[in-house]
Structure 1
Amino acid sequence: MHQNPPPTRTISLIGMPGAGKSTVGVLLAKLSGLDFNDTDLEIQVQAGATLQEIIDSRGHIVLRALEEEILLAVPLTHTVIATGGSVVYSDRIMQRLKQAGPVVYLDVPLSTLEARVAAAPPRGIASDVGYSYADVFRERTPLYRRYADFTVATEGRDPQDVAMEILTRLRGAS
């Protein structure tokens, strides 16, 4: 069922790798009639390599720089953006996203995230060598909370329900 578009130009999804930003983002775009942009895919297309290959060959700082370059250039009009997990390290990006529309943090418990990431191929998590996934989670969570206009807890929920909650909350805020 196609819903009326939310009263916003752009919705940005932030959260850890494995939080469901891409999955929820596609559904949110379909429900709202907005375009969809997965910035991790955009990085891979422009670099001609997977995120993990970029990290392995050029390092996580290069990956973050590519992410910043792309997110400072990508059009932010009538789009749901699934950001990379490290987007919150760039205040410039976050300010641009916040000016374009609401920023939604998909909050997932660490244990669930670890299980999802362990079950998936290497994800190219942009972090210092020697950092565990739990270390990255502890470092990023305060940043996600700081930049989010609102947080949606996704544990045990269907991605469609999460997308509907985001739309409902955006309509209620207008």
Structure 2
Amino acid sequence: MNENKRKSNVVLIGMPGSGKSTVGIILAKQIARDFVDTDVLIQLDEQRTLQEIIDSNGHMALREIEERIVCGVDIKNHVIATGGSVPYSHKAMMHLKQDGYFIFLDADLDCLRSRIENYETRGLAKRPDQTFRELFDERYALYTQYADITVNCSFLSQEQVCTEIVEKLKRHTGSD
């Protein structure tokens, strides 16, 4: 693919609680794009919640399903909110990167803890014994590896996060 070709998707990555789904909806309205949430695609395809998948089949099964669903996404001009575990799949990330810019919604651990009240039942693809800090540390490296743009959103409103994304995307792509 020609790297000079403008990519049409904006792909939000980050920890659970970083605001990917909520920011994604607002951002899609602001930049006149459709919105899709890969966690919702998984639940629709599987006809069960993420937590039900984990409870019956384990967290690695959820990651496998997630990779299959994400690699099947073939859309243009969308804001895509990904599940927090998508970066574990290099194949899924490379598929999304073909026509998307990765925006890492970077929230610090204290901020995430204040936003997530249901860590044990939220449907997170994590080892059963894994603490939130361990999950954060493990995933942070993946998010920074793939990010085209990082927005620190710990102390910003959802609207401010969207403004930052739009401004940074313009600088990143060299567009007005």
Q: TM-score, normalised by structure 2?
A: 0.91
Alpha-carbon distance, 1:134 to partner: 1.1
Alpha-carbon distance, 1:161 to partner: 1.0
More off after superposition, 71-80 vs 120-129: 120-129
Distance 1:27 1:154 in 2: 15
Distance 1:113 1:25 in 2: 17
Give yes or no for contact 2:105–2:150 (8 Å, CA) kept in 1. Answer: yes
Question: Where do 4+ consecutive residues of structure 1 move more than 2 Å?
Answer: 119-122
Paired position in structure 1 for 2:33: 34
Distance 1:28 1:157 in 2: 14
Distance 1:121 1:30, change over 3 A: farther
Identity %: 45
Residues 118-168 of structure 1, C-alpha deviations (whole Å, 9 max, x = no match): 268831110111001111001110110000001100012110111111111
SS at 2:12's partner residue?
Answer: strand
Distance 2:154 2:73 in 1: 30
**Cα RMSD after superposing both structures:** 1.4
Paired position in structure 1 for 2:76: 77
Unmatched tracts of structure 1, length 5 or more: 1-6
Residues 99-130 of structure 1, C-alpha deviations (whole Å, 9 max, x = no match): 21210100001111112112688311101110
The one-letter amino acid of 2:158's match is: P
How does 1:5-20 map onto structure 2 within 5 Å?
Answer: 8-20=7-19
1:94 maps onto 2:93 in alignment: yes
Unmatched tracts of structure 2, length 5 or more: 1-5
Paired position in structure 1 for 2:110: 111
The one-letter amino acid of 2:41's match is: E
Paired residue total:
168
Paired position in structure 2 for 1:25: 24
Give yes or no for contact 2:149–2:169 (8 Å, CA) kept in 1. Answer: no
SS at 2:155's partner residue?
Answer: coil
SS at 1:70's partner residue?
Answer: helix
Distance 1:117 1:12, change over 3 A: same
Residues 48-80 of structure 1, C-alpha deviations (whole Å, 9 max, x = no match): 111111101111111111111111111231010
Distance 1:133 1:25, change over 3 A: same
SS at 2:116's partner residue?
Answer: helix
Paired position in structure 2 for 1:4: none
Distance 1:96 1:50 in 2: 24
